[in-house]
């Protein structure tokens, strides 16, 4: 595995790979790798000739009161894991490499970013779109791999690729979970053992909502009520949102109809840690 730290190095490597007629798969990450990331590496190895991964804690997607400075980092551990999972190139830039002095560009994807995470974290998806656009322009991947856990993010990236006529195909892999149902996340490291146990209520609430749907419930507000009731069974939980929406555009109809695909979206605080999760459902 080759470790690259500058954009020029990456462009040379990417150009050589393309000239050799080989395909590139990219996994953008912020590091502190877990099983979810590793599954994306494995997926990239199956779809691509050459696997690129990036590790960059992107400052533009963090708000002023969020956890940029304390976001978990362990480059040595991440490098070892990436090599074990057959990553060919690991791009580890610093902030000045990605955003040099005088950098002025911004990105904004309308509509999809006006609700849920975008509403509660203003500017978050602008930063996500910006860094992903830069990585795509630098690396020129044929495929890019993302996890379903960040569902709204995957929609934003797909919209950006479509609107800007990018050649990269986006592949979304299922969320990797612990046996308890808790979705793998770098921020799980913030949780105490008791909080990890309490956090299993996210998956439990989505399962109860699915049960209601399987039993014929089609009213959006009633489904949301099931989610909120189950989440509030844990003392001290704080809910940012717990809602079901159409999976393609996150619109929220009053009722759902057969063959419509929907997504349950959750964002809650367990103690001081904010967790997100989601669950895809097709109405029968």
Contacts of 31 (CB under 8 A, 6+ apart): 55, 56, 57, 72, 73, 74, 75, 78, 186
Per-position DSSP letters for 13-82, written without gaps between them? HHHHHHHTT--EEEEEE-SS--HHHHHHHHHHHHH-SEEEEEE---GGGS-TTSSTTTS---HHHHHHHH
HEC-encoded secondary structure of 153-175 = HHHHHHHHHHHCCCCCEEEEECC
CA-based nearest residue to 139, from 11, 234, 231: 11
- 37 counts as catalytic: yes
Contacts of 96 (CB under 8 A, 6+ apart): none
For residues 7 and 195, what is the distance between their CA atoms, to the nearest angstrom? Answer: 40
Pairing relationship of beta strands 169-173 and 143-147 according to DSSP bridges:
parallel
34, 37, 85, 124: the catalytic one is: 37
Q: Is 3 helix (H, G, I), strand (E, B) or coil?
A: strand
Contact 196, 153 (CB under 8 A): no
Task: At 28, give phi and psi (nearest 5°).
Answer: -80, 130
Q: What token pair was written down for 47?
A: 């779809």
Catalytic residues: 37
């Amino acid at each position: 595995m080759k470790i690259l730290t500058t954009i020029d190095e990456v462009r040379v490597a990417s150009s050589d790979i393309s000239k050799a007629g080989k395909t590139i798969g990219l996994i953008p990450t912020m590091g502190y790798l877990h099983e979810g990331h590793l599954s994306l590496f494995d997926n990239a190895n199956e779809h691509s000739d050459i696997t690129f991964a990036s590790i960059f804690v992107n400052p533009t997607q963090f708000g002023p009161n969020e956890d940029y400075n304390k976001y978990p980092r362990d480059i040595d551990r991440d490098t070892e894991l990436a090599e074990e999972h057959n990553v060919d190139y690991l791009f580890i830039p610093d902030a000045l490499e990605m955003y040099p002095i005088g950098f002025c560009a911004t990105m904004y994807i309308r509509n999809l970013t006006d609700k849920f995470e975008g509403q509660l974290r203003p500017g978050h998806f602008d930063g996500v779109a910006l860094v992903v656009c830069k990585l795509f322009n630098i690396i020129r991947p044929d495929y890019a791999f993302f996890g379903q856990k960040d569902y709204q993010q995957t929609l934003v990236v797909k919209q950006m690729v479509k609107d800007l006529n990018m050649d990269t195909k986006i592949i979304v892999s299922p969320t990797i979970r612990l046996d308890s149902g808790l979705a793998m996340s770098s921020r799980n490291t913030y949780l105490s053992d008791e909080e990890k146990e309490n956090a299993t209520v996210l998956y439990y609430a989505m399962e109860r909502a699915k049960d209601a749907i399987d039993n014929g419930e089609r009213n959006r507000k009633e489904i949301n009520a099931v989610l909120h009731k189950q989440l509030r069974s844990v003392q001290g939980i704080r809910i940012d949102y717990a809602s079901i929406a159409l999976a393609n555009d996150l619109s929220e109809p009053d009722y759902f109809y057969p063959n419509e695909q929907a997504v349950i979206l959750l964002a809650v605080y367990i103690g001081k840690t904010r967790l997100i999760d989601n669950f895809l459902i097709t109405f029968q």
